[in-house]
Structure 1
């Protein structure tokens, strides 16, 4: 699976529920055994690969990332500018 295909899978999950937890996506992609899709950061946390995030962000202009809950959701009228809330 390429980073673009991973991002498209994430988009499908996001569109089905209107939100997507980062951990859920990273755990699913980890099982594909492709180091370009996920990695462990210095703290030992599972993260999505940078190319996957880049592709996902290009596909989801209407989504914002809730840093406190570590998930993407639809943008609300009350949101501040930018992708992260």
Structure 2
């Protein structure tokens, strides 16, 4: 799976539920054994690969990331400008 294909998979998962937890996506991608798709950071957290995330962000311009709960969701009228909330 390429980073673009991984981002498309994430988009499919997001569109099915209108939200996507980072841990869920990263854990799935980690099982593909490719560190460009997902990796463990220095704190031991599983993370989506940077190329995957960049493509996912391009595919979802009206989606925001809830930093506290680590998930993506649709933008609400009450959201602040920017990607992270």
Q: Fold-level match, TM-score > 0.5?
A: yes
**SS of structure 2 residue aligned to 1:20:** strand
Please provide the CA RMSD for this pair: 0.5
Q: Which runs of 5+ in 2 are unaligned?
A: none
What is the number of residues matched between the two proteins? 85
C-alpha distance in 2, partners of 1:84/1:49? Answer: 17
1:1-85 equivalence runs, <5 A: 1-85=1-85
Q: CA deviation at 1:34?
A: 1.1
C-alpha distance in 2, partners of 1:45/1:9? Answer: 21
TM-score of the aligned structures, taking structure 2 as reference length: 0.98
Q: Which runs of 5+ in 1 are unaligned?
A: none
